[in-house]
Amino acid sequence: MSANNAFHVAVLPGDGIGLEVMTPALEILRRIEAKSDLRFRFTEAPAGAGHYRKTGKSMPDSTVRLAEEADAILLGACGLPSVRYPDNTEIAPQVELRFLLDLYAGVRPARLIPGVPSPIVGADSRGIDLVVIRESTEGLFASMGKGVVTHEEARETLLITRKTSERLFEFSFKLAERRKARGRPGALSCVDKANVFKAFAFFREMFDEAAQRHPQVKAERLYIDACAAMLVKRPWDFDVMVMENMFGDIISDLTAGLVGGMGMAPSADIGDRYAVFQPCHGTAPDIMGQGKANPTAMILSAAMMLDWLADKHGLESAADASERIERAVDKAYADGIKPIEFGGSNGTADIAKAVLAAL
């Protein structure tokens, strides 16, 4: 076994159901380890509202050091409604890590799995398989904690820089190229509001420059409002979309809703060196500790981690393992597993058992 096949994974379970969905994801990775040449070393560390309540910090310095040293980071959902910073904002280490580790590309796939209901008529036959790429360190979120509030008004400042945007577009075009090689259309849509705001016109100009360097990808341009309307009419027409931070925050939730909801939505925040993999859903304190949480998004996030490690290290066995997990999830749902949020009776343990059996 090559040393490149052994990966150190930082595990930050987080709060609420974050801890509950992390367990099945690790079980599946251990099953992968038993049936391949891949090896994992998992190191767990605290982060989230629970840690803040005890210490006054969202995560200790040791967690940040671990994140910097690990090959990849698995993060459960973080935050609790009852625990807030003094300015009443959420405890969100997942957002803090984006800035600390320069994770500029938020990757949010939305794929309709066989047997999963979609609110879109015809989606079960036409299929939905798209990716939202959300710039994760700038845009309106660059103003996080810096807004100015007076008695009369409040102001937040949107930021778009050439350095980050150019990296974001290179990442997005390369992802579209990879998807094209795997049988997808190989199209990339820039989603903005360039007809109203100078910042978004600047954003689109840099997209156009990147498009010239990637002629094999079909480059499209859409305004955010038109994009939202098209997504609920014909989501199967989309492949990869790239957009500013706040737009991506909203559209990624919309696309998750098209494929069964947040419990089905994995994600990654990726930079040039580091990457964090986590479910899109929150901590769901109303069901925590009841065994009702759907672990699918966390399991698929672990699969995304393997795919990223495969691409980064040129390791075919990790890519194969990622595909095996996705196929196992597909089989579990096609065979009739039905999470509680779909009106079924299958909780965390049932879904994990079904995916492990399929794997």
pLDDT in tens, 287-329: 999 999 999 999 999 999 999 999 999 999 999 999 999 999 9
Among 259, 294, 318, the domain-final residue is: 259
Per the CB < 8 A criterion, the answer to whether 98 and 136 are in contact is: yes
CB atoms within 10 A of CB 198: 9
Is the pLDDT at 3 greater than 80? The verdict is no
- Taking only the tens place, the pLDDT of each residue in 49-82 is 999 999 999 999 999 999 999 999 999 999 999 9
Hey, is 350 helix, strand or coil?
helix
Q: Are residues 170 and 90 in the same domain?
A: no
Q: Are residues 173 and 80 in the same domain?
A: no
Q: Are residues 253 and 153 in the same domain?
A: yes
Q: Are residues 255 and 283 in the same domain?
A: no
Q: Are residues 190 and 280 in the same domain?
A: no
pTM of the model: 0.94
Structure tokens at 237: 């027409």
Region of residue 226 (left: phi > 0; alpha: psi -120 to 50; beta: else): alpha
Q: Are residues 157 and 170 in the same domain?
A: yes
Q: What is the mean pLDDT of the chain?
A: 95
**Which are the contacts of 193, defined by CB distance < 8 A and separation ≥ 6?**
200, 223, 224, 225, 247
| Alpha-helical runs (H) found in 35-126 | 49-55, 61-69, 93-100, 123-126
| Structural domain contains residue 109 | no
Q: Are residues 133 and 223 in the same domain?
A: yes
- Taking only the tens place, the pLDDT of each residue in 162-212 is 999 999 999 999 999 999 999 999 999 999 999 999 999 999 999 999 999
| pLDDT the model gives residue 1 | 37
Among 203, 235, 259, the domain-final residue is: 259
Q: Are residues 54 and 99 in the same domain?
A: yes
Per the CB < 8 A criterion, the answer to whether 299 and 328 are in contact is: no
Task: Count the domains in the chain.
Answer: 2
Q: Are residues 126 and 231 in the same domain?
A: yes
3-state helix, strand, coil in the chain (%, to 5): 45, 20, 35
In terms of residue numbers, what domain contains 41?
A: 1-104+260-359
Is the pLDDT at 2 greater than 90? The verdict is no
Q: Are residues 223 and 245 in the same domain?
A: yes
CATH number for the domain spanning 284: value is: 3.40.718.10
Cα(346)–Cα(352) distance, integer angstroms: 10
Per the CB < 8 A criterion, the answer to whether 183 and 323 are in contact is: no
Among 227, 259, 291, the domain-final residue is: 259
